[in-house]
Amino acid sequence: MTTWHPSISKRWFVAAIADKIGHKPLAVTVLGRPLVLMRLDSGIVAMEDRCPHRQVPLSAGRVTPTGIECAYHGWVFGADGRCKAVPGLAQGDCLPKVGARTIAVRELDGMVWVRLAAEGDAAPPEMVAKFLPDSRKFLNQLHWRGYIVDVIENFLDPLHTHTVHPGLVRKPDAPRSAVRVKLDITGEGFVVNYRDQAAQSGILFRLFESPRVSEKLHFAGAGSAQIEYVYANGSVIRITLHFTPETQDHTHVFTTMHVENRWAPRWAVRWLVYPFLHKVARQDERTLELQAMNQARFPGKRGVSTRLDIVRANLEKIWEQGEPLTDADAVPESVIYL
Ligand code: FES
Ligand SMILES: [Fe+2]
């Protein structure tokens, strides 16, 4: 059983892609908790994946328009988790008071979000709510071996691109250039701002990019990270990754790409951009797998950081200390060589 800082259960995490929830219940694990997702007449419902009668997983059951029917004795639980039917009881018999445990759930940007604690953050991060309608060009789900903080850090870390992604993000022999970088605290997390970033030299950028005005990394809630490119021609590309710990060493990664103010039909993104991003993701996945494997071989060893590891302390503060970030966690502007 995995233990997480209690504050983490108050945050929202993506549990599934909404389209995957049809007529069958879907079993998912979030923060080590088995859940079942289903679509009822009233909308998407999330429950603990456990029948209160004899503990059989509700995900083995059947979805009816009004509730989920357990696979064992057929008890039916409605959207509020209450027991609505017990086959075999006479009409007028009292139904058991104990119901299935419901979990807070939202459908947003094509994804199903859950919050395990009954009370906590009112909604998923603002960065998701503010997307323009129809700007999403793709949405997919990956499953990586790796500890959540390591996985998030990987996405937010530009320094490994030379070594892990040679040629894709940067030319293999591209010289490093001075970049000004700073980290500011926001209402929901933090933002890392890169200035004077030279145009990236890899094939990905030569094919798809135009001159950039800014490059920012946003982090919000406990698991949402977004790289935002704003271009001189007014277009904006946002690649967002929502990280959801399944267990202590496995992480779901839900990736979206939103494009505004430029020609980018879905098929073109799907067939031209996506294969490159997929290759980059595979390279990261392999690196994280090596890291996780070696953490298991050297348990208890903590890493050493330099000021280049600009997000690590804040991620650990959120995930391991359960502390809200304050302005004291900001990092003033300095020059690094990217
Ligand atoms: S175990 Fe679910 S109805 Fe008996
Ligand atoms: Fe990477």
Neighbours of ion ligand 2 (CB under 5 A): 284
Nearest atom, ligand 1, residue 54 CA? 1
Q: Are 159 and 306 in contact (CB under 8 A)?
A: no
Ligand nearest to the CA of 161: 2
User: Tokens 């979000």 appear where?
Assistant: 113
Residue-level pLDDT, tens digit, the chain, 338 residues: 458 999 999 999 999 999 999 889 999 999 999 999 999 988 999 999 999 999 999 999 999 988 999 999 999 999 999 999 999 999 888 889 999 999 999 999 999 999 999 999 999 999 888 888 888 988 999 999 999 999 999 999 999 988 999 877 677 777 888 999 999 999 999 999 988 776 665 665 666 667 888 889 999 999 999 999 898 888 899 999 999 999 999 999 999 999 988 877 878 777 877 888 889 999 999 999 999 999 999 998 889 999 999 999 999 999 999 999 999 999 999 999 98
Instruction: Note the pLDDT of residue 1.
Output: 40
Residue type, 104: A
Report residue 116 as tokens: 């395990």
User: Tokens 């950039």 appear where?
Assistant: 212
Residue type, 228: E
Q: Give dist(CA 167, CA 230) in Å, integer.
A: 23
- Neighbouring C-beta atoms of residue 327, cutoff 10 Å: 7
Kindly give the distance from the C-alpha atom of residue 115 to the centroid of ligand 1, in angstroms, as a whole number.
25
Report residue 180 as tokens: 């000004």
Ligand nearest to the CA of 96: 1
Fold of 6-115: Rieske Iron-sulfur Protein (2.102.10)
Give me the DSSP letters along 113-179. EEESSSSS-SSS-HHHHTSPTT-EEEEEEEEEES-HHHHHHHHH--TTHHHHSBTTTB-TTPPP-EE
The gap between the terminal CA atoms of the chain, to the nearest Å, is 40
Non-local CB neighbours of 133 within 8 Å, separated by 6+ positions: none
Nearest protein CA to atom 4 of ligand 1, as residue: 73
Domain-by-domain residue ranges, the chain?
6-115, 126-337
Is the fold of 6-115 the same as that of 126-337?
Answer: no
Q: How far is CA 207 from CA 57, 204, 263, 276, 318, in A?
A: 48, 6, 14, 11, 37
Nearest to 66 by CA among 58, 76, 52, 56: 76
> Diameter of the chain by CA atoms?
79
Q: Give dist(CA 328, CA 331) in Å, integer.
A: 8
Angle at 240 between CA 102 and CA 242, to 5 degrees: 30
Kindly give the distance from the C-alpha atom of residue 52 to the centroid of ligand 1, in angstroms, as a whole number.
7
Nearest atom, ligand 1, residue 61 CA? 2
- Out of 69, 75, 77, give the residue to mutate to test ligand 1, the one with the largest number of ligand atoms within 8 Å of its CB: 75
Q: Give dist(CA 207, CA 198) in Å, integer.
A: 16
- Tell me yes or no: is domain 126-337 CATH 3.10.129.10: no
Kindly give the distance from the C-alpha atom of residue 25 to the centroid of ligand 1, in angstroms, as a whole number.
16
